[in-house]
Amino acid sequence: MPELRGVKIAGLGMYAPARVLTNQQLQQMVDTSEEWIVTRTGIKERRLAEPEQATSDLALLAARQALQQAGVQPEELDLIIVATNTPDTLFPATACLVQDRLGAKKAGAFDLLAGCTGFIYALVSAAQFVQTGMCRYVLVVGAETLSRIINWQDRNTCVLFGDGAGAALLAPAEPGRGILASSLAADGSGGHLLSLPAGGSRQPASLATVEAGLHYVHMNGREVFKFAVKAMGDSALEALHRAGLGKEDLDFLIPHQANIRIIEAAAKRLGLCMDKVLVNVDRYGNTSTASVPIALYEAVAGGRIKAGDHVVLVGFGAGLTWAACAIRWD
Interface residue list for ligand ACO (CB under 6 A): 32, 36-37, 40-41, 115-116, 155-156, 159, 194, 219, 221-222, 224-225, 228, 258-259, 286, 288, 317-318
- Any residues with CB less than 8 A from the CB of 3 and at least 6 apart, and which? 175
CB-nearer residue toward ligand ACO: 35 or 75: 35
CB-nearer residue toward ligand ACO: 169 or 231: 231
What is the smallest separation between the CB atom of 137 and ligand ACO, expressed in angstroms? 28
What is the smallest separation between the CB atom of 160 and ligand ACO, expressed in angstroms? 6
Give just the sign of the alpha carbon dihedral 261, 319, 240, 306.
negative
Q: Considering the candidates 23, 85, 96, 116, report the single residue annotated as catalytic.
A: 116
What is the smallest separation between the CB atom of 104 and ligand ACO, expressed in angstroms? 28
Q: How far apart are CA 126 and CA 138, in angstroms?
A: 6
CB-nearer residue toward ligand ACO: 33 or 209: 33
CB-nearer residue toward ligand ACO: 74 or 317: 317
Q: Is 151 a catalytic residue?
A: no
What is the smallest separation between the CB atom of 175 and ligand ACO, expressed in angstroms? 33
Q: Considering the candidates 85, 96, 135, 256, report the single residue annotated as catalytic.
A: 256
Question: 194 has which bridge partners?
Answer: 219
Q: Is 286 a catalytic residue?
A: yes
Question: 138 has which bridge partners?
Answer: 79, 170
The half-sphere exposure of 31 on its side-chain side, counting CA atoms within 13 A, is 0
Q: How many CB atoms lie within 10 A of CB 100?
A: 14
Q: How far apart are CA 278 and CA 300, in angstroms?
A: 10
What is the smallest separation between the CB atom of 316 and ligand ACO, expressed in angstroms? 6
Q: How far apart are CA 93 and CA 53, in angstroms?
A: 16
CB-nearer residue toward ligand ACO: 41 or 65: 41
Q: What is the SS3 assignment for 200-267?
A: CCCCCCCHHHHHCCCCCCEECHHHHHHHHHHHHHHHHHHHHHHCCCCHHHCCEEEECCCCHHHHHHHH
Q: Helix, strand, or coil here: 24?
A: helix
Q: How far apart are CA 295 and CA 167, in angstroms?
A: 11
CB-nearer residue toward ligand ACO: 64 or 230: 230
What is the smallest separation between the CB atom of 55 and ligand ACO, expressed in angstroms? 14
Active-site residue list: 116, 256, 286
